[in-house]
Amino acid sequence: MNSSIGELKLEWAYEHMDVLRAVRERFRDEKPFDGLKIGMALHVEAKTGILALTLRDGGARVRLASCNPLSTDDSVVEALRFQGLQVFARKGESRKEYYENLHKVLEIEPDIIIDDGGDLTTLLHKDYTYIPILGGNEETTTGVLRLRVMEKKGVLRFPMFDVNDAKMKHLFDNRYGTGQSTLDGIMSATNLTIAGKTVVVAGYGWCGRGIAMRMRGMGANVIVTEVDAIKAIEARMDGFRVMRMIDAIREADFVITATGMKDVVREEHILAAKNGCILANSGHFDNEISKRDLERLSRRKRKVREYVEEYEIGEKKIYLLGDGRLINLVAGQGHPVEIMDMSFAIQALTAEYIAKNHRHLENKVYPVPTEIDYYVARLKLKAMGIEIDALTEEQRKYLEEWEEGT
Ligand code: ADE
């Protein structure tokens, strides 16, 4: 029997996820989640499917919904359901359906949650306060920002792990993952040239850095906008022009937001943009580019390609990609497989850590334990066939000394 498209995508991802495969093999033997239920809200595509199957192989009962209405790969949903996984997601689902699907995940009263962006966590603090969660993980910068606010306000009611800030996550996923997948999404949505164009990147966090680096690699003239003085200097010293958005957008052929902040491109910027300017977002929520202002300022709007909306504003045309939702998943294929391999191995191992250690955890935001970061790093090096040096005994002792200088 021929495999379906979704099955082939899962197979391809599995073959290229060496780290998660090693974790999955151990989970099959050790069953760390025996008797536990795991609720997940992540972008539902092939790599995520492998994570869900890994957790199930570890003994968990798993339910999966999407963390974004436009990022689901329906062929993968079908293939996962065929394998008996309970998945609630559809590409293009309405806001109502999106929330209904999150509710379906919470109906099983999960013990552990894996969230991306914080919507599942928020529901657990509003409508499902009776579910005794052992702990959870958060995948992304935006979700971690929300968690920190909850912790500061004293409302966080279970332990959450900040997966985003694990080294083996953000150094690769946010930088190289977002860099490559944003380029992928913009190129597939527009089929336009990057070389020679002026690309404005809003935000010089790890995602912005990755995007700026890859856009430069494609021959773009990159301008960075920032609100953080230190990051602005880093961008300058990395060789980029740094400006205010209001100045940068006058030159921009493309503007790409990756800030985690709302209204980064708003009325005054839209009015200053030049004719033909293309706006795209790679941040978690669709509020970085003000769709409200675009709607209000335009006299006509039409879809000119799949994922490209044209707004006529005065004498000019401005384009919005992917409805302002993260372009790397809406029009692209998400982060490369080997990158999500590392991020999802961190997710799986941190979930295992919760299963084993929840009794000792408080209602706080925790960093991922360093041992997990290094465990994933060692598995990844092995998969890459790279051997590295180790300190000698003498060198190790040197680290303990302070008296001796030259
Ligand atoms: N694929 C699955 N989850 C993803 C994420 N958070 N970012 C990019 N690609 C992904």
* CA–centroid distance, residue 44 to ligand 1 (Å): 8
* CA–centroid distance, residue 381 to ligand 1 (Å): 22
Q: What are phi and psi of 144, to 5 degrees?
A: -65, -40
What is the reported pLDDT for 157? 98
What is the reported pLDDT for 1? 64
Which protein residue has the closest C-alpha to ligand 1 atom 1? 334
Can you name the residues that pair with 302 across neighbouring β-strands?
310
**Ligand 1 binding pocket includes 139 (Cβ within 6 Å):** yes
Q: Do 23 and 345 touch, CB atoms closer than 8 A?
A: yes
* CA–centroid distance, residue 207 to ligand 1 (Å): 12
**Ligand 1 binding pocket includes 42 (Cβ within 6 Å):** yes
* CA–centroid distance, residue 165 to ligand 1 (Å): 15
**Ligand 1 binding pocket includes 45 (Cβ within 6 Å):** yes
**Ligand 1 binding pocket includes 335 (Cβ within 6 Å):** yes
Q: Which of 156, 143, 86, 76 is nearest to 115 (CA)?
A: 143
Q: Do 138 and 115 touch, CB atoms closer than 8 A?
A: yes
What is the reported pLDDT for 184? 97
What is the reported pLDDT for 221? 98
Which 3 state secondary structure label does DSSP give 25?
Answer: helix
Amino acid letter at 305?
R
Question: Which DSSP state fits 378?
Answer: H
Which protein residue has the closest C-alpha to ligand 1 atom 9? 334
In angstroms, rounded to a whole number, what is the distance separating the alpha carbons of residues 347 and 139? 8
**Ligand 1 binding pocket includes 43 (Cβ within 6 Å):** yes
For ligand 1, mutation pick of 142, 343, 347 (most atoms within 8 Å of CB): 343
One digit per residue, the tens of pLDDT, for the chain of length 406 reads 678 999 999 999 999 999 999 999 999 999 999 999 999 999 999 999 999 999 999 999 999 999 999 999 999 999 999 999 999 999 999 999 999 999 999 999 999 999 999 999 999 999 999 999 999 999 999 999 999 999 999 999 999 999 999 999 999 999 999 999 999 999 999 999 999 999 999 999 999 999 999 999 999 999 999 999 999 999 999 999 999 999 999 999 999 999 999 999 999 999 999 999 999 999 999 999 999 999 999 999 999 999 999 999 999 999 999 999 999 999 999 999 999 999 999 999 999 999 999 999 999 999 999 999 999 999 999 999 999 999 999 999 999 998 877 6
**Ligand 1 binding pocket includes 334 (Cβ within 6 Å):** yes
User: What is 48-81 written as a DSSP string?
Assistant: HHHHHHHHHHTT-EEEEE-SSTT---HHHHHHHH
What is the reported pLDDT for 2? 79
* CA–centroid distance, residue 268 to ligand 1 (Å): 32
* CA–centroid distance, residue 227 to ligand 1 (Å): 26
Cα three-residue angle 245-251-252, rounded to 5 degrees: 75
Which protein residue has the closest C-alpha to ligand 1 atom 3? 43
β-strand 112-115 against 86-88: which pairing, if any?
unpaired
In angstroms, rounded to a whole number, what is the distance separating the alpha carbons of residues 122 and 97? 17
* CA–centroid distance, residue 131 to ligand 1 (Å): 27
β-strand 221-225 against 278-281: which pairing, if any?
unpaired
Q: Which of 11, 71, 47, 42 is nearest to 345 (CA)?
A: 47
What is the reported pLDDT for 406? 65
Q: Do 240 and 226 touch, CB atoms closer than 8 A?
A: no
Domains defined along the chain, listed by start: 3-169+335-383 (3.40.50.1480), 178-330 (3.40.50.720)
Q: Which atom of ligand 1 is nearest to the CA of 48?
A: 2
* CA–centroid distance, residue 103 to ligand 1 (Å): 21
CA 235 to chain centre: 22
